[in-house]
């Protein structure tokens, strides 16, 4: 089981580790193209290169299959004390280290998309620079234990904060006000964008969807509906999508992207899973961490028992205890936070947009559900209590 370890230290760190396999000693990050500027008023991409130094050891057989990887990244202020956002995209490289015990180097290229939500928070905080941070592990076989200190890339913010959009609030939901859905194949499903404008204006936008074949990793969205509509200042405006695609099994992402005016923040995204329906009783899954009743924070790792045939996991939080009678009758409380992850990883740190919906000091109950490639529920944990710090 891969250990997920986060170490927030500035600079480079040497981690001694008694073993016969290679260990990560240090690391640097550069921008090969020399571009490290990020615009305040639109999403920006930056090409970067991680270069990790490793000290070898042991025999070639012991080294085979060594994977250098980083499971997630964070955006912070330069000091690292203010979290601006989390990137759950993992990067890795399989490389056999120097069997003689010498030093070798591993290079991993990455193109990062800096979300508008991150630069908007930085703009509101008056920041001129932000930091993109990763920690790397060195894993021979299934054993992980060698961790390089967090390596940081400084990004410079440029331009202005953007023009006033006139949109004072924007909410995206399914018609039952949920943020994620499980729907059977060819089922009927619509999404609704609700927005408040400070002035009367003509808005233009597009409904876009990433189907199961294009939602893995960096999603690829396709336009399926164009919208042009007059909005009245001070009055809520609802824009309902046409029937969402439900003819392909698996995870789908849906968003309404404003073209005019452009949002200063990130476009919200909904998730829905198209399923064939459950044909067997789901397995009862174990929760590894956090333990029941524990206080949790924004950096808490939620980890559960992996299932061999799972292609996605769904995590949900409710704000009142789901009693056994409710579970049997299918009347558990409506989730206040939920997301579907199309991944084989069995651990997650909640992203900012999910964490912000949980109230400090309040008790919640969370559950994980395993889903196979046809969208069927094959496993589910019992509800477990946590307290938000």
Q: What is the pLDDT of residues 150-163, one digit of tens each?
A: 888 999 887 644 33
At 354, phi and psi to the nearest 5? -85, -45
- Summary mean pLDDT of the chain: 78
Q: Quick: pLDDT tens for 247-286.
A: 988 888 899 988 877 665 667 889 898 887 655 678 999 9
Indicate if 46 and 125 belong to the same structural domain.
Answer: yes
Per-residue burial over 56-68, b = 16 or more CB atoms within 10 Å of its CB, e = otherwise = bbeeeebbeebbb
Indicate if 130 and 65 belong to the same structural domain.
Answer: yes
Indicate if 298 and 364 belong to the same structural domain.
Answer: yes
pLDDT score recorded for residue 304: 93
Q: Quick: pLDDT tens for 170-203.
A: 889 999 888 888 888 889 999 999 988 777 788 8
Indicate if 227 and 255 belong to the same structural domain.
Answer: yes
pLDDT score recorded for residue 230: 86
Indicate if 182 and 151 belong to the same structural domain.
Answer: no
pLDDT score recorded for residue 245: 93
Reported pTM? 0.47
Q: Quick: pLDDT tens for 89-147.
A: 888 888 776 666 667 788 899 988 888 778 777 877 888 899 999 888 776 544 555 55
Domain assignment present for 304: yes
379 is in which domain, residue-wise? Answer: 283-388
Indicate if 92 and 172 belong to the same structural domain.
Answer: no
pLDDT score recorded for residue 161: 44
Lowest mean pLDDT among 221-225, 245-249, 350-354, 376-380: 350-354
Token pair of 35 as six digits: 């571009």
Domain assignment present for 8: no
Indicate if 40 and 141 belong to the same structural domain.
Answer: yes
Domain assignment present for 1: no
Mean pLDDT calculated for residue range 360-387: 89
- Which residue in this structure is represented by tokens 């930091």? 131
Indicate if 226 and 331 belong to the same structural domain.
Answer: no
Planar angle of CA 271, 363, 334, nearest 5 degrees: 35
CATH of the domain at 333: 2.60.40.10
Number of domains in the chain: 3
């Amino acid at each position: 089981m891969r250990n997920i370890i986060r170490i927030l230290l500035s600079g480079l760190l040497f981690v001694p580790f008694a073993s016969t396999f290679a260990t990560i000693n240090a690391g640097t990050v550069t921008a090969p193209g020399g571009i490290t500027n990020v615009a305040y008023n639109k999403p920006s991409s930056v090409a970067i290169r991680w270069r990790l130094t490793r000290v070898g050891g042991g025999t070639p057989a012991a080294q085979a299959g060594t994977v250098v990887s980083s499971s997630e990244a964070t955006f912070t202020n330069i000091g690292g004390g203010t979290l601006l956002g989390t990137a759950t995209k993992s990067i890795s490289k399989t490389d056999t280290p120097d069997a003689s015990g010498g030093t070798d180097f591993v290079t991993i290229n990455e193109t990062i998309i800096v979300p508008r939500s991150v630069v908007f928070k930085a703009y509101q905080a008056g920041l001129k620079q932000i930091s993109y941070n990763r920690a790397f592990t060195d894993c021979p076989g299934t054993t992980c234990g060698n961790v390089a200190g967090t390596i940081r890339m400084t990004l410079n913010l440029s331009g202005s904060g953007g023009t006033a959009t006139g949109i004072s609030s924007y909410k995206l939901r399914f018609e039952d006000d949920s943020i994620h859905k499980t729907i059977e194949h060819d089922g009927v499903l619509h999404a609704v964008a609700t927005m408040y404008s400070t002035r009367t204006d003509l808005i233009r936008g597009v409904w876009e969807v990433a189907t199961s074949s294009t939602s893995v990793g960096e999603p690829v969205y396709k336009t399926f509906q164009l919208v042009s509509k007059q909005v009245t200042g001070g009055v809520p405006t609802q824009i309902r999508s046409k029937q969402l695609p439900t003819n392909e099994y698996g995870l789908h992402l849906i968003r309404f992207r404003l073209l005019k005016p452009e949002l200063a923040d990130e476009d919200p995204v909904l998730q829905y899973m198209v399923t064939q329906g459950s044909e067997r009783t789901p397995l009862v899954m174990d929760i590894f961490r956090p333990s029941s009743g524990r206080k949790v924070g924004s950096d808490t790792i939620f980890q559960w028992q992996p299932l061999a045939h799972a292609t996605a996991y769904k995590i949900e939080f409710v704000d009142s205890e789901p009693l056994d009678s409710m579970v049997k009758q299918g009347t558990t409380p409506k989730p206040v936070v939920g997301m579907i992850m199309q991944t084989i990883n069995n651990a997650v740190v909640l992203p900012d947009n999910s964490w912000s919906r949980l109230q400090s000091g309040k008790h919640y109950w969370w559950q994980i559900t395993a889903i196979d490639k046809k969208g069927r529920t094959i496993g589910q944990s019992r509800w477990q209590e946590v307290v938000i710090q």
